[in-house]
Amino acid sequence: MKYTEYDFNEKTILITGAAGFIGSNLCFYFQNNYPMAKIIALDSFRSGETLSNGNLKSFGHYKNLLGFKGTVISGDINDKELLNQIDEDYDFDFIFHEAAISDTTASEQDLMVKTNVNAYEDLLKMAINHNANMIYASSAATYGDAASPQTVGNENPGNVYGFSKLMMDNITYDYLKKDLDISIVGLRYFNVYGPREYYKNKTASTVIQFGHQILAGNTPKLFEGSDKILRDFIYIEDVIQANIKAATPKKSGIYNVGTGKARSFQDIADILQKELGTNLGTNYIPNPYIGQYQFHTEANIEDTKTYLEYAPKYEMEDGIKDYISEIKRIYEVEVK
């Protein structure tokens, strides 16, 4: 499905974080729709190295790229020599920058700021050098507990991850003051779910985690009051749509990428049980994060609609329906 009239065939596209959830979906979007596009997939892949919270330092997994026909480069975006080499070797038309410490619970402030903020500026300089439009992943985490609907300009990050994404956006605003020939778009994704997220392990969405609990015959475990914990959950297809439209925007800037509707964790469990034909009820557990938990996120997507012509297509019911066969396949192949 093509989301734009623009023809990406013959274009050279750098995708960072390409072995991760969103980056790999972008790789396949271009491969499937624009077979003559040259796709360079850069990722540090997983090494087994962990952060102090026990999670992997990088979640890239080769299985996300099985079937990919473009060029794969294993490397760290913090490695300036590598970036210089890539800068010399290719002439990019677009950079889709998804690489990041994506773990919102990581506490290594040094690594987070270096990887998410400083490497972004290096890549942005590369984009300017090549006259390549830059599309990068910001995050709804920039809002922290700011009131719904979350709106660009009203941020309050609650952790170093959200801080790092906000600092990326500040860099963007700074560069946009210059008279550049390229467009720069930061996309503040809300809670994304969909195929190729499984290898994010514990940081994958609750959609696949509840899905696998149910497939194992277990009652899904939810925090008490989960019918009142609401988030703007967005299906990967709509995130891809936003990225493609952001490649040739009407206006550079920072945009929210959500559905504009808040749904509850209880809804996820209920829709999954309906799709999987189970009636296991719900197992409520106390919420240990009371006080530091976002209870209501909902993206204000007015500007995204206006300036990117973005139109989300997937209600949660549609997204889970589309995703369910992959949730089952992954369960068979990886979990059982």
Ligand X SMILES: NC(=O)c1ccc[n+]([C@@H]2O[C@H](COP(=O)([O-])OP(=O)(O)OC[C@H]3O[C@@H](n4cnc5c(N)ncnc54)[C@H](O)[C@@H]3O)[C@@H](O)[C@H]2O)c1
**237 part of the interface to ligand X, by CB under 6 A:** no
57 catalytic, yes or no? no
Distance of CA 143 to the CA centre of its chain: 16
Q: Determine which one of 136, 200, 235, 323 is catalytic.
A: 200
For residue 181, what are the contacts with CB-CB under 8 A and spacing of at least 6?
Answer: 131
Instruction: Pick the closer one to ligand X by CB: 100 or 214.
Output: 100
Options 78, 248, 278, 282; binder of ligand X; rule CB under 6 A: 78
How far from the centroid of its chain's Cα atoms is residue 159's Cα? 17
Instruction: Note whether 163 binds ligand X by CB under 6 A.
Output: no
Query: Which residues, 166 to 205, sit near ligand X by CB under 6 A?
Result: 189, 191-192, 200
Q: Is 178 a catalytic residue?
A: no
**Site track for ligand X across 103-132, x = CB under 6 A:** ------------x-----------------
Asked if 19 interacts with ligand X (CB under 6 A), we say yes
Question: Secondary structure of the chain: what % helix, strand, coil (to 5)?
Answer: 40, 15, 40
Residue 243, both tokens: 């990225």
Q: Does position 43 bind ligand X by CB under 6 A?
A: yes
Note whether 19 and 43 are within 8 A (CB).
yes
Using CB atoms, what's the residue nearest to ligand X? Answer: 20
Q: Does 152 bind ligand X (CB under 6 A)?
A: no
161, 199, 310, 314: the active-site residue: 161
CA distance 242 to 265: 24
- Shortest reach from residue 114's CB to ligand X, in Å: 8
CA atoms within 13 A on the CB side of 11: 20
Pick from 53, 147, 163, 158: which is nearest to 115 by CA?
Answer: 163
Rounded CA-CA distance 291/184 in Å is 35
By CB under 6 A, tell whether 253 contacts ligand X.
no
State yes or no: residue 209 binds ligand X (CB under 6 A).
no
Residue 208 lies near ligand X (rule: CB under 6 A) = no
Cα separation, 76 vs 150, in Å, equals 32
Helix/strand/coil for 140: helix
Residues that bind ligand X (CB under 6 A): 17, 19-23, 43-45, 58-60, 76-78, 98-102, 115, 137, 139-140, 189, 191-192, 200
Which are the catalytic amino acids? 161, 200
